[in-house]
Amino acid sequence: MANILIIEDEASIQRMIEYDLKQLDYTVELSSDGKDGYNKAKSDHYDVILLDLMLPSMNGLDICKKLRNRDVESYIIMLTALSDEYDIIKGFEAGADDYMTKPFSPRELTARIKAGLRRTQTFKKEDKISYQGLIIKPSSYEVFKNNEKIELTLKEFELLLYLVKNRGIALSRDQLLTNLWGFSYDGDSRIVDVHIFKLREKLDKDSTWLKTVRGIGYKIVKTD
Amino acid sequence: MANILIIEDEASIQRMIEYDLKQLDYTVELSSDGKDGYNKAKSDHYDVILLDLMLPSMNGLDICKKLRNRDVESYIIMLTALSDEYDIIKGFEAGADDYMTKPFSPRELTARIKAGLRRTQTFKKEDKISYQGLIIKPSSYEVFKNNEKIELTLKEFELLLYLVKNRGIALSRDQLLTNLWGFSYDGDSRIVDVHIFKLREKLDKDSTWLKTVRGIGYKIVKTD
DNA sequence: TTGTTGTGTTAAGATTCTGTTAAGAAAAAA
DNA sequence: TTTTTTCTTAACAGAATCTTAACACAACAA
C-alpha cells in the first residue's frame, strides 16, 4: 500500500507510531539512528518519512536538506519537541512538508500522513478507477456502470482506460494509436472513431462525458 | 508568482495574512463569505487556499469537500480556532492538506504555505494560461470567460492561444497564417479577419483587448 | 473634401471532419 | 479444422467549420 519510514530514537514513540500505522495497513520501517535513517531514506522509495530532529550521529534538519538535495520527494513530516517558532521555520526551510511538536495526538499524526499520501500518491498504481458512475478495474479488465457489469472488448477497454486516466486532456487519434496500438501501427486512424462509437453506445449514449474535440480527437471531461 | 485565496471572515486576521503574503510577492485574493469563497476557489487557479472553518453562508468543511469533488487541487490550509483532535481530523478527512489553529504564528503560516507551494509546483503541471477574465487550457482545448465555458472552433482556439501567448505584440496576417495555417497556405489572408471577428463576438464584443493594428494585423494588449 | 486603402460584417458555398453502418479480414475459441 | 468474436476498412450522409466574396463603413492621405 504505502511505505513509511520512521527515523526516531525514542523507542516508546517509535512503537506507538508503528503500531498505529500497521493497523492501517501501511508498510513501516524503523531507524533509530541519523545516518542509518538517511541511508534508507535516500533510496526514495518511501511515500512518507517521519523524522525526529534530535538524533544520534546526524541531525534531522541535515538529513532533510540532504534528501531534498538528492531530489528525494518523499513526504517528510518532522516530529520534535522543539516548538519554537524559530525551530519550526527552520524545519520547513530544510524542506519538510509538515511539522508536529511532541507531545502529539497519534490520530492527528495519521490524519496528516494520509493528507500527505493523498498529495504524493499520483503515481500510485490504482486497482480501481472511478469516474462518474463507472468503475474500471485494470487488473481484471472489468467495467461497471452503476454497479452493473458492462462487457467491453479488449480494445474498447484499453481505450476507455487510457481516456479516463488522461481525463481532461484532448487526445489525438495519433496519440491514441501510438499508445494503444503501438508505434508501428500504420492503419487507418479512423479506427479510433469506430471504437469510440462502440464505447458511447455501451456507456455514454448521449456523449455527456466522452467528447469529440473536432479537428483533434477525443477527450473525457473532468468531473464536477 | 503564486496565487493565494484567503477565505476568512475576521477582518483583522485577513489583513494580517494579506499583508504578510503580499510582502512575499504572492498574489492574494480575499473572500469573507463561504459561498463567495467557494465560487472563487472552484476555478482552481489558486495554488494555495487558506480556509477558515466558521464562515457565513457555507462552512469551511463543506467548501473543502466540494472543491475536492470537483478535482480542485489547490493546497488547502485550514485556519481555525477549533483545536480539538476531532475537529482536526475532520478537517483532514474533508481533504485539507494542512491545519493550523488560531492563534497562530504568521511566520509559521508562511512557512507552511511555502512548503505547500514547493510540493504543488513540482507536481502540478496542468497547463493553463490566464488573461484578463479568461482561462485557456491548451491540453483540453477549453476556454473559460469568468469561469463560464465558451465554445470555440479549432481555428478560433488556436488563434486566441497564439495571440495571448504573444500578447503585446502586433502580429501580421502573414505571421498568423504561417504559424497557424502552415507555410504552404496560399488562400486569402483576410480569413484572419473573419476569425478575429468571431473571437470578438464570443469573447470581447467591444474590442477592449483584442485590438486591430491598422495596416499590420492584430494584437492583444498587455496588462501585466 | 475626396479618393484610396484597410477593416468589419455577413452570408453562401466549399471543404473537411465525424457518426454510423456494414462487410470482409484477422484473431481467438471451440 | 470450424465457429465465433473482434478488429479494421471503406463508404456515405450529415454536420460543423472554413473560406471566399461582396458590400459598407472607417481611417487616412493628399
Instruction: For chain B, 224 residues long, give each residue's pLDDT as a single digit of tens.
Output: 789 999 999 999 999 999 999 989 899 999 999 999 999 998 868 999 999 999 988 999 999 999 998 878 899 999 999 888 999 999 999 999 999 998 899 999 999 999 999 888 754 445 789 998 899 999 999 999 998 999 999 999 999 999 999 999 999 999 999 999 998 888 899 999 999 999 999 999 999 999 999 999 999 998 76
Residue B214 and residue B181 in one domain: yes
pLDDT, residue A46, reads 92
Of A90, A122, A154, the residue that ends a domain is A122
B98 has which bridge partners?
Answer: B77
Residue B206 and residue B192 in one domain: yes
Of residues A78 and A68, more confidently modeled: A78
**C-alpha cell of residue B11:** 477582518
CB half-sphere exposure, A37, CA atoms < 13 A: 32
Write out chain A residues lying below 8 Å of B148, CB-based.
Answer: none
Are A115 and B92 within 8 A, CB to CB? Answer: yes
For residue A18, CA distances in Å to A6, A103, B52, B129 come to 8, 16, 32, 45
- Is residue A159 within 8 A of residue A196, CB to CB? The reply is yes
User: Chain A to chain B, count of Cβ pairs less than 8 Å apart?
Assistant: 77
Residue A85 and residue A148 in one domain: no
Q: Left if phi > 0, otherwise alpha if psi is -120 to 50, otherwise beta: which for B207?
A: left
List the A194 CA – C28 C1' distance (angstroms).
21
pLDDT, one tens digit per residue, over A51-67 is 999 888 788 998 888 78
Residue A61 and residue A101 in one domain: yes
Are A96 and B88 within 8 A, CB to CB? Answer: no
**Residue B125, CB, less than 7 Å from strand C?**
no
Residue ranges making up the domain that contains A200: 127-220
What is the total count of domains within chain A? 2
pLDDT, one tens digit per residue, over A3-26 is 999 999 999 999 999 999 999 999
Residue B8 and residue B99 in one domain: yes
Provide the CATH number for the domain around residue B74.
3.40.50.2300
Rounded CA-CA distance B138/B127 in Å is 7
Of A66, A97, A122, the residue that ends a domain is A122
Of B122, B152, B179, the residue that ends a domain is B122
pLDDT, residue B83, reads 84
Residue A32 and residue A10 in one domain: yes
pLDDT, residue B126, reads 58
Provide the CATH number for the domain around residue A173.
1.10.10.10
Query: Is pLDDT at A223 greater than 80 in this prediction?
Result: no
Residues 80-109 of B with CB under 8 A from A: 85, 88-89, 91-93, 95-98, 105, 107-108
Are A97 and B115 within 8 A, CB to CB? Answer: yes
pLDDT, residue A180, reads 85
Are B141 and A216 within 8 A, CB to CB? Answer: yes
Residue B138 and residue B168 in one domain: yes
Residue type, A12: S
Own/partner contacts of A25-30, CB < 8 Å, gap of 24 or more, are A25/A1, A26/A1, A26/A2, A26/A113, A27/A1, A27/A2, A27/A3, A28/A4, A29/A3, A29/A4, A29/A5, A30/A5, A30/A6
pLDDT, residue A58, reads 81
Residue B77 and residue B186 in one domain: no
pLDDT, one tens digit per residue, over A111-147 is 999 999 988 875 444 568 889 889 998 878 899 999 8
Taking CA–CA distances from A121, the nearest residue in chain B reads B123
Of residues A96 and A223, more confidently modeled: A96
For chain B, what's the residue count? 224
Residue B95 and residue B144 in one domain: no
Average pLDDT along chain A: 89
- Is residue A54 within 8 A of residue A29, CB to CB? The reply is no
Residue A103 and residue A18 in one domain: yes
Query: Does B204 contact A at CB distance below 8 Å?
Result: no
Residue B178 and residue B209 in one domain: yes
Nearest to B70 among A93, A114, A224 (CB): A224
Residue B101 and residue B166 in one domain: no
pLDDT, residue A73, reads 85
Query: Does B119 contact A at CB distance below 8 Å?
Result: yes
